């Protein structure tokens, strides 16, 4: 799966400048690992089958977004474009949805 970021500032999570996002260091490390897992997944079914990710498609005002769990509090929200090969996950938020 291809990974993209919108806004582009979220791409800092992959660099040594991740502290500029204002996320705790534990969240940064875990989010990096989850993004690596997302990139390794060939399709949406793989994300769904990895139970530890707690993958789900969101509804309501967030319809069209999907999310995976970073830790108890934080989630990675993304849009999934299945029309490309490989599919493209565009990360739109890394944060606390509560």
Domain at 16, CATH number: 3.30.2310.20
Tokens 């990675």, located at residue: 76
Number of domains in the chain: 1
Residue 98 confidence (pLDDT) above 90: no
Give the pair of three-digit tokens for residue 45.
Answer: 């079914």
- Is residue 35 within 8 A of residue 3, CB to CB? The reply is yes
Tell me which residue range forms the domain holding 25.
2-95
Please give the pLDDT value at position 63.
Answer: 96
Please give the pLDDT value at position 16.
Answer: 95
Cα–Cα distance measured from residue 73 to residue 96, given in angstroms and rounded to the nearest whole number: 6
pLDDT, tens only, 21-46: 999 999 999 999 999 999 999 999 99
Tokens 């502290």, located at residue: 19
| Beta pairing partners, 13 | none
pLDDT, tens only, 49-72: 999 999 999 999 999 999 999 999
Nearest partner of 66 among 40, 42, 97, 30, judged by Cα: 97
Please give the pLDDT value at position 31.
Answer: 97
């Amino acid at each position: 799966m291809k990974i993209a970021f919108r806004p582009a500032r979220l791409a800092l999570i992959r660099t040594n400048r991740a502290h500029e996002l204002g996320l705790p260091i534990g969240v940064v490390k875990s989010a990096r690992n989850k993004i690596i897992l997302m990139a390794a997944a060939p399709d949406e079914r793989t994300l769904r089958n990895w139970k530890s990710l707690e993958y789900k498609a969101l509804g309501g005002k967030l319809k069209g977004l999907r999310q995976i769990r970073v830790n108890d509090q934080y989630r990675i929200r993304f849009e999934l474009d299945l029309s490309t090969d490989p599919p493209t996950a565009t990360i739109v938020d890394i944060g606390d949805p509560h």
